[in-house]
Structure 1
Amino acid sequence: MNLFDGEPEVIRIGSNFVRILAIVEPIHAMGLILANALQGAGDTMAPFYISTWVILRIPFAYFFAFIIGLQSSGIWIGMALTQLLQGVLTARKWKEKEIVSEEKYTVES
């Protein structure tokens, strides 16, 4: 964080942000990869609906920052929860996908 700003408060807030989001980033990345795989497999609606969970980001951030009183850390926790939710929902949808045998689609001559 020191590369961006030398202010101790900025470094503290930025470091908190990196620590909190680093925990859920692998799950978020998995969700993004699986969402693209679902789209490639022809299921475009599920990733679309799951991505709309992002609208919860602002209410979550507000709740943790101001109602619970976690301030800027609450904003990062709210963001992390929506990323976690998106990753988990996408993974669950991917697990429900059915693999179709190629034999079903072979052309007989």
Structure 2
Amino acid sequence: MSEQNNISRKAFLGKISMLGLAGAGGGVFLKGCGNGNGEEVADDPCADLSGLSESDIELRETLEYVAETPNPDERCDNCEYWVDDQHGPECGGCTLFAGPVHPGGWCNSWVPMS
């Protein structure tokens, strides 16, 4: 395991500990896959979060997951945490949080594939 992954996991664990504080304040729930502007990506096949718990949705929000990356070089499908075809042929998954993930998405824990 590379040192880069260890650092990212430490940062992830730190963010999870803050999740309880954010939840206590009544955080805003993630509407689904978005484009970073609070708007839903048109025809996003990965937007169905109906099977997720409130804490799963809060974690996605804490990690600032969006369906459309703000940086074309940093996409979910080229991230170390990407899980291919986990939620059907058009959506993958992530080892950091539950639910469908758009291949062209992004979150603040993005790490390049090794």
Normalised to the residue count of structure 1, the TM-score between the two structures is 0.32
Q: Which has the higher contact order (CA 8 A, sep 6+)?
A: 1
Bigger share in helix: 1
Instruction: From the CA coordinates, give the structure whose radius of gyration is larger.
Output: 1
